[in-house]
């Protein structure tokens, strides 16, 4: 069987320990781990390299739209990728507007889709005046909600 991508001869780190093996990847998913040779359209020779699973960072602040000067989506996302992070989950509070409505979520998505080099998801915000928005935000795809019981770090993201 041929794969889209084969990572060959690497030292694979798995839950069962490290082993010298090959990864067969199709459609972005690992389909095979084998000590025997695998065929692929593209082969990356990972000899003398450690192959680790990617990290997931559940708490990033890329601050766009509105505060890209703090750290924008593009630079923050590329820095995550350079450090081995394959998925980030962006916090809702530092953007202007914060992600407390579907329109704000769509503005955030527009920035993310144009600059993302790793997979991502978005948190929604639970603030003092958006209880009527939570269902719509959940249906639009946020993975959860961030709330503060005390003052947040920005005046736009209110609390309880």
List per-block mean pLDDT (blocks of 10 residues) for the chain, which spans 160 residues: 94 90 94 95 95 92 88 93 94 90 95 93 93 96 90 76
Domains in the chain, ordered, with CATH?
2-51 (2.30.40.10), 55-146 (no CATH)
Q: Is 114 helix (H, G, I), strand (E, B) or coil?
A: helix
d(C-alpha 74, C-alpha 88), whole Å:
12
Q: Is 131 helix (H, G, I), strand (E, B) or coil?
A: helix
pLDDT for the residue 5: 96
Q: Is 48 helix (H, G, I), strand (E, B) or coil?
A: coil
pLDDT for the residue 150: 77
d(C-alpha 77, C-alpha 158), whole Å:
26
Q: pTM score, two decimals?
A: 0.76
pLDDT for the residue 107: 94
First and final CA of the chain: distance in angstroms? 57
pLDDT for the residue 148: 84
Query: Left if phi > 0, otherwise alpha if psi is -120 to 50, otherwise beta: which for 120?
Result: beta
pLDDT for the residue 101: 96
């Amino acid at each position: 069987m041929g794969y889209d991508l084969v990572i060959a001869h690497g030292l694979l780190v798995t839950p069962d320990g490290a082993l010298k093996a090959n990864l067969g990847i199709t459609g972005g998913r690992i389909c095979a781990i084998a000590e025997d040779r695998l065929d692929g359209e593209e082969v990356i020779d990972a000899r003398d390299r450690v192959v680790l699973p990617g990290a997931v960072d559940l708490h990033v602040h890329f601050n766009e739209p509105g505060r890209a000067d703090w750290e924008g989506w593009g630079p923050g996302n590329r820095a995550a990728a350079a450090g081995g992070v394959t998925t980030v989950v962006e916090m809702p509070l530092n953007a202007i507007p914060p992600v407390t409505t579907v329109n704000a979520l769509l503005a955030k998505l527009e920035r993310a889709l144009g600059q993302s080099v790793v997979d991502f998801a978005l948190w929604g915000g639970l603030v003092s005046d958006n209880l009527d928005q939570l269902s719509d935000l959940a249906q639009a795809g946020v993975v959860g909600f961030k709330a503060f019981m005390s003052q947040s770090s920005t005046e736009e993201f209110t609390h309880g």
